[in-house]
Amino acid sequence: MRLSKPPALAAWLLEHLTPGDNHDALVGDLLEEFQHGRSAWWFWRQVLCAIPASLSHEIRAHRVARSVEFGLTWVWVDFVMFHLLPYLRAKLWVTAFEPHAPILWRFVLNPVTDHYPGEPWSVLILLPVLLAAYLSARDFNFLAFVCGLLVGVLAMLAIFPVIGILGRDLFALLAPPPQRSISRMEIGRGYIALPNTISVVVGIWAAKLITRRPQAVEILG
């Protein structure tokens, strides 16, 4: 039997942004109604109505649990971003430029820890992203999310030298003369939000992969 599929983006939003005990029932109901001939526009309306209803209900219903989870993750992120990475960077920075510093430190470890992504303003931008991550992770599992976030931070560390160094050099090359004197740290700040966001997004997806189950639309075939 060939079943018609609802709008992909709406189905994705429905699957990921409607937490709560009745998530499965809601997804099933909307898909069933769509199979019975409801329009794509109806499906979209229902999804857009369901998201705020589910999110606000979830926050109200699990205020304490959500706060604790959020706080724990925040402490963890804060530790990595503000303490661990700056510490490593400070340590490596000193040794990397010593005359007999090992090549590995000079060319690999030092660039990796060159910019620490711990600027308060950039992290503040991520608060809503983190909150969305909590609410969107189906079958939420704190350990899975922390593991995912760790994967995200590692991914960020892997790509950041490329973004940071190439981007900075490109910026210095393309920027008009007065901006060439802009400090290294100031330029670095411009790249901070991006890797932070990447780390969180990769983290969300890694957590989802750990706790993955088939999505309703995939089952439709």
Partner 1 sequence: MRKDSHLGEFELIVTLALLRLGGNAYGVPIAREIEKSIGREVGVGSVYAALDRLEKKRLVSSTVGEPTLKRGGRAKRYFEVTSPGLRQIRETQRALIALWRGLPQLERGEA
Residues of the shown chain interacting with partner 1 in the complex, contacts defined by CB under 8 A: 1, 3, 18, 20-22, 24-33, 35, 45-47, 49-51, 53-54, 56-57, 61, 214-221
Lookup: tokens for 162: 């490329």
Cα 162 to chain centroid distance, Å, stands at 19
Q: Which residue has the tokens 């340590």?
A: 91
Residue among 31 and 77 whose Cβ is closer to partner 1: 31
How buried is 165 (Cβ within 10 angstroms: 0-12 exposed, 13-18 middle, 19+ buried)? middle
Position 7: which residue type? P
Q: What is the DSSP string of 151-214?
A: HHHHHHHHHHHIIIIIHHHHHHHHS-HHHHTS-HHHHHHHTTHHHHHHHHHHHHHHHHHHT---
Residue among 130 and 217 whose Cβ is closer to partner 1: 217
**Least distance from C-beta 141 to partner 1, angstroms?**
20
**Least distance from C-beta 128 to partner 1, angstroms?**
21
**Least distance from C-beta 22 to partner 1, angstroms?**
4
Residue among 28 and 120 whose Cβ is closer to partner 1: 28
Residue among 9 and 25 whose Cβ is closer to partner 1: 25
**Least distance from C-beta 73 to partner 1, angstroms?**
25
Query: Are the C-beta atoms of residues 135 and 19 closer than 8 Å to each other?
Result: yes
**Least distance from C-beta 11 to partner 1, angstroms?**
9
Residue among 128 and 214 whose Cβ is closer to partner 1: 214
Residue among 30 and 123 whose Cβ is closer to partner 1: 30
Q: Which residue has the tokens 């991914």?
A: 155
Query: Are the C-beta atoms of residues 119 and 192 closer than 8 Å to each other?
Result: yes
**Least distance from C-beta 33 to partner 1, angstroms?**
5
